[in-house]
Amino acid sequence: MVYTTCKICAGKTEEFLPQFELLKCSQCGFIFYKHQLEIAGTQELYDKLYNQQDDYKVYKQQADLLKQGKQPHLGFNKMKVLRLLLNKNCSSFIEIGAGVGVVGNYLAKKNKQYAGIELDAGAAGLARDAGLHISQGSFEDMSTSADADAVLAFEVIEHIDDLKLCLGLIRDKLKSGQYFGFTVPNFEIHYNQSVEMQKKRLGQVGPPVHVNFFTVTSLQKILQDIGFKPLYLEARPFPYIVWNKKSTYKKLWSAFKGQFKGSTIICVAKKN
């Protein structure tokens, strides 16, 4: 089935970058894949991605480190969110899309309460093998988790077709004054490319893997509409550094001139 209105605000949509089959809402500015997805198809897709392709072997490497009692690298984006929330004295967390448990392990070492939910059974199994409290299921299963001070979702909500349901469940899970911390790809990295390349690539993974595409502006409105106040909502200010690639220096120079669009949007929002 094809969406005929915005799946967040039900506003009028228009074709946007039709070569990628995207729609854009004229009311809230949200960009999304025009085709609706079924949960069974999504589970099959992620089983192939995580368990049958070499591109995702990093997750197995992380799982091996966890089983050895080591903490895999979390990176700037996750640490920014976690530090903000820990500074808010959050002591209990639910994570959607917990993967093999990299964040869960970090929080456990901080003596924080943690429950993770992971759609892919293989990844959830690796997490449990490492002794982490992560169950296999979808975001809808968060309703059965214990209460928490914060819900986390790192590079997750861009994958969830029924985004309005997901955000509504997160809101309902939290009490007033509690937090939602997450990261998503920044759609505006599309414009870091040449005009010619913009016709061929989105700058991030396209549909049906990523089905929601966010900007800081559209996220601000979406969060406010569902009952959250963004406390921190910014695009990552600098590119990923790979010193042996010439493109890194071009991106750094572009960032220095204020022309680089950061690859990731980092957000901590408080429930009203």
Looking at residue 206, what DSSP letter applies? Answer: -
In a domain, 28, yes or no: no
Cα–Cα distance list, 147 to 57, 107, 140, 185 (Å)? 33, 16, 14, 28
Looking at residue 2, what DSSP letter applies? Answer: B
In a domain, 15, yes or no: no
- Looking only at the bridges linking them, the beta strands covering 22-25 and 212-213 are unpaired
In a domain, 99, yes or no: yes
Residues 6+ apart with CB under 8 A from 243: none
In a domain, 16, yes or no: no
> What is the edge-to-edge ordering of all strands in the sheet holding 212-213?
13-16, 22-25, 31-33, 212-213
Residues 6+ apart with CB under 8 A from 175: 147, 271
Distance CA 204, CA 263 (A): 9
In a domain, 213, yes or no: yes
Tens-place pLDDT, residues 94-133: 999 999 999 999 999 999 999 999 988 888 999 998 899 9
In a domain, 108, yes or no: yes
- Looking only at the bridges linking them, the beta strands covering 228-235 and 134-136 are unpaired
pLDDT of residue 103: 97
pTM: 0.90
CATH of the domain at 190: 3.40.50.150
Split into its structural domains, the chain has a count of 1
CB 184 within 8 A of CB 265: yes
CB 116 within 8 A of CB 95: yes
Query: Is the Cα dihedral 226, 171, 33, 205 positive or negative?
Result: positive
Rg (CA), the chain: 18
Structural domain that includes position 98: 39-195+205-271
pLDDT of residue 57: 66
Query: Is the Cα dihedral 134, 138, 139, 141 positive or negative?
Result: negative
In a domain, 152, yes or no: yes
* pLDDT by position in tens, the chain (length 272): 899 999 999 999 999 999 999 999 999 999 999 999 876 556 666 666 656 555 556 788 898 999 899 999 999 999 999 999 999 999 999 999 999 999 999 999 999 999 999 988 888 999 998 899 999 998 999 888 889 999 999 999 999 999 999 999 999 999 999 999 999 999 999 988 889 999 999 989 999 889 999 999 999 999 999 999 999 999 987 766 666 776 766 666 676 666 677 889 999 999 99
Looking at residue 141, what DSSP letter applies? Answer: G
In a domain, 18, yes or no: no
Looking at residue 254, what DSSP letter applies? Answer: H
